[in-house]
Structure 1
Amino acid sequence: MTVKTLEYRFDSQAPASRAHGSSAALRLLVPVVLVVAWQLCASLGWLDDFVLPSPWHILLAYQELWHTGELQAALPVSLARAGLGLAIGGGLGLVLGVIAGLSAHAERLYDAPLQMVRTIPFIALVPLFVVWFGIGELAKVLLIVGAAIFPVYLNAYHGIRGIDKKLLELGNSFAMSRAEQVRLIVLPLAMPSILVGWRYAAGSALLGLVAAEQINSSAGLGYILNNANQFQRTDIIIAGILIYALLGVLVDIIMRQLERVLLTWRPRHDQP
C-alpha cells in the first residue's frame, strides 16, 4: 500500500469523523442547555421548589440516597426484575414469532388472540394481576413479561414473513432440513427485524417495571418513589424518574451496540 493511498484514506475518513463528533456534541448540547435554563429559572425564583426542584436540589437528593444506601440497594432489585421479565417475555415472543412466521397453521391458531391482547395497555392489567397473582414478585415480573413479549413477537413474525420465498426454495433444493433452514437462512435474514423487536421490548420492559413497582413494593426504585410520595419529597421523586430515564438510555445504547456486533455486514450511517 502506497503513501498516497494511506493519505487518501485518511482524508476521506476525516470529514466523516468530524461530522460524527459534531453530531455527538449537538446531542449533548441540547440537554445541557435545558438543565442550565432550568437551574437559572429556579435561581431567579421563577420555579417553586416544592413543585419543581432545581437541578442542584435533585443532586442533593441523589447524594442523600447514596449516603443512606437506598440507591445502591434499589438498583439491583429493579434491574433484576426488568431483566428477568425481558428475558422471559422476549424469549417467549421470539419463539412464538418464529413459529407463526414459518407456519400458517400456527398463525391461524394464536396470532388473532395475541393481537387482541396486545391492544390492551399493560398498565390496565395491574389490578387484575394483583387479584390473580397477589402483590409479590410474581405479579411484578409477569407484568413486565406482558410488556416485553409483543414487540419481539411482532418484529420476528414480520421479519420472517418478509423473507423471499425463493431463498427457502433454494434451501430445499440443497436438501436442507427445516432446522438448518431456520438456522442458516431464516434467522440471519430476519435478525435485523428481531433485534429491533428486542430494542423496543427493552424499553417496554422498563415501562412495565415502573408500573410493576407500584404494586406494594418493599424494595427497588418504586419503593423509593412511594416513600418519597408519602413524605412529599418532590426532589426524590424527580430523582427517581430521572434514574428510570437514564436506565432507558443505557439500555438503548446496549441494544445499539448489540446490533453493531451481530449485524457487522450492515452499513452504518455514520460511515462514508
Structure 2
Amino acid sequence: MTTAATVPVVGRPTGTSGVPRPPRIPAWASWLSTVAIFAFWWLGTATGLVDSRALPGPDKVVEAAWELTEKGILGEAVLVSLGRVLAGVVIGLLVGVVLGLLSGYFLVGEAAVDKPVQMLRAIPFNALTPLFIIAFGVGETMKVLLISVGVLVPIYLNTFAGVRGVDRKLVEVGTVYRVPKFLIATRILFLGALPSVFTGLRFSLAVAWIALVTAETVNASAGIGFVLTQAQRFVRTDQVVLCIAIYAFLGLFTDWIVRCLERHFLRWRGSYQGN
C-alpha cells in the first residue's frame, strides 16, 4: 500500500532525501531589476520628466566614460582604486579574523580585544581621517589603512559571532583528545565560523568602497575618487554619475567574487537555498 509519506510532490523533482528541489532561476534573471532601473532612468531623461542637468541620461554617461577612456584616465583610475581596496581588505581581513579567533576562543582575549574594537565600531572612520593624515601623511599608507580600519570591524564581529556559534562539544572532543589549541582554533573554530566570516567579508567590501571615497578625496592624484572630485569641481555631472555607477558595479563585482568563493569553500554546508 502506498502511504502519504511516500507519495512524491507532483511536478517537482525530488532529491535523494525525498525533499523537493527548489526551482532553478537563470543567472541572467537577477539582472532584470537592474535593467528595469536603467530603462526607467533613460525614459525619464529622454522624455524630460527628469532634469538632465541634475541627472544626465545613460547615453551622456556612456559618452563621458568614452571620453575619459580615450584620455587614458578611466582605466588607470579603476586599477588604482581596486589596488587600494584590495590592500585594505587584505590587511583588515587578516587582523579582523585573528582578533575574532582570539576573542572568541579565549576569555582573556575577549577581555583584552572586544571593548577596544567595539569602541572603534562606534567611531565613524571619516572622523579618523585627520588623525591618520597627521600620523601617516597623505600618501598611499593613509588611504590603505583607513580602508583596512573600515574592513576590520565587520570581519571581527562576524568572526567572533561565528566562533561563539560553534558547537562546544566539538571543542570538548578536541580537548579530550589533546588536540593542540592552535589546531582547535584553525581546524574547528575557524572552519565552523567560516560562513559568518564570508558574511562579514561581504559587509566589509561595501564599507571598503565607502572608505575609499573618503580616502581618495585627500591629496589623491589618481583613482575614481580623484576623478569624482575633479568632475565636481568643473560641474561635470555626467562624470559624477559615471563615478557613482563605477562604484556600484565594482561593489557588485567584488561581492560576486566573494559569493563564488563562498560557494566553493562552503560546499559541505547543506543550508537552505531558497524556494
Matching residue of 1:43: 46
* Percent of residue pairs bearing the same amino acid type: 39
Structure 1 range deviating more: 76-85 or 176-185: 176-185
Structure 1 range deviating more: 128-137 or 158-167: 128-137
Work out whether residues 120 and 153 of structure 2, in 8 Å CA contact, stay in contact via their aligned partners in 1. no
Aligned with residue 83 of structure 1, among 76, 82, 86: 86
Structure 1 range deviating more: 87-96 or 157-166: 157-166
Q: Read off the aligned partner of 1:148 and give its amino acid letter.
A: V
Work out whether residues 160 and 190 of structure 1, in 8 Å CA contact, stay in contact via their aligned partners in 2. yes
The yes-or-no answer on 1:141 pairing with 2:175 is no
CA distance in 2: counterparts of 1:114 and 1:183, whole angstroms: 22
Task: Report the CA distance between 1:159 and its aligned residue.
Answer: 1.0
Matching residue of 1:56: 59
- How large is the Cα RMSD of the aligned pairs? 2.3
Matching residue of 1:20: 25
Task: Report the CA distance between 1:206 and its aligned residue.
Answer: 1.3
Structure 1 range deviating more: 27-36 or 148-157: 27-36
C-alpha spacing 1:126/1:51, structure 2 compared with 1 (3 Å) = same
CA distance in 2: counterparts of 1:188 and 1:46, whole angstroms: 53
Matching residue of 1:172: 175
Task: Report the CA distance between 1:269 and its aligned residue.
Answer: 4.6
Which runs of 5 or more structure 2 residues have no equivalent in the other structure?
1-11, 15-19
CA distance in 1: counterparts of 2:269 and 2:48, whole angstroms: 51
Aligned with residue 248 of structure 1, among 246, 251, 262: 251
Task: Report the CA distance between 1:75 and its aligned residue.
Answer: 1.2
CA distance in 2: counterparts of 1:268 and 1:59, whole angstroms: 41
Matching residue of 2:3: none
Map residues 111-150 of structure 1 onto 2, 5 A cutoff.
111-150=114-153
Residues 69-98 of structure 1, C-alpha deviation per residue, up to 9 Å, x if partnerless?
A: 111111111111000011001110111110
Residues 187-210 of structure 1, C-alpha deviation per residue, up to 9 Å, x if partnerless?
A: 221111122112211221111111
Q: Read off the aligned partner of 1:175 and give its amino acid letter.
A: R
- Which structure dedicates a bigger proportion of its chain to helix? 1
CA distance in 1: counterparts of 2:121 and 2:274, whole angstroms: 37
C-alpha spacing 1:204/1:267, structure 2 compared with 1 (3 Å) = same
Matching residue of 2:217: 214
CA distance in 2: counterparts of 1:129 and 1:149, whole angstroms: 16
Task: Report the CA distance between 1:47 and its aligned residue.
Answer: 2.4
Residues 24-52 of structure 1, C-alpha deviation per residue, up to 9 Å, x if partnerless?
A: 52x32222222222212212222222211
C-alpha spacing 1:248/1:169, structure 2 compared with 1 (3 Å) = same
Matching residue of 1:194: 197
Task: Report the CA distance between 1:181 and its aligned residue.
Answer: 1.6
CA distance in 1: counterparts of 2:226 and 2:154, whole angstroms: 28
Task: Report the CA distance between 1:270 and its aligned residue.
Answer: 4.8
Query: What secondary structure, in the 3-state scheme, does the structure 1 residue paired with 2:240 have?
Result: helix
Q: Read off the aligned partner of 1:153 and give its amino acid letter.
A: Y
C-alpha spacing 1:180/1:217, structure 2 compared with 1 (3 Å) = same
Matching residue of 1:239: 242
Matching residue of 2:187: 184
C-alpha spacing 1:17/1:57, structure 2 compared with 1 (3 Å) = farther
Matching residue of 2:33: 30
CA distance in 2: counterparts of 1:51 and 1:169, whole angstroms: 62
Matching residue of 2:166: 163
CA distance in 2: counterparts of 1:270 and 1:101, whole angstroms: 28
Task: Report the CA distance between 1:18 and its aligned residue.
Answer: 5.6
The yes-or-no answer on 1:74 pairing with 2:77 is yes
Q: Read off the aligned partner of 1:201 and give its amino acid letter.
A: S
Task: Report the CA distance between 1:20 and its aligned residue.
Answer: 1.1
The yes-or-no answer on 1:257 pairing with 2:245 is no
CA distance in 2: counterparts of 1:35 and 1:195, whole angstroms: 30
TM-score (norm: length of structure 1): 0.89
Work out whether residues 213 and 222 of structure 1, in 8 Å CA contact, stay in contact via their aligned partners in 2. yes
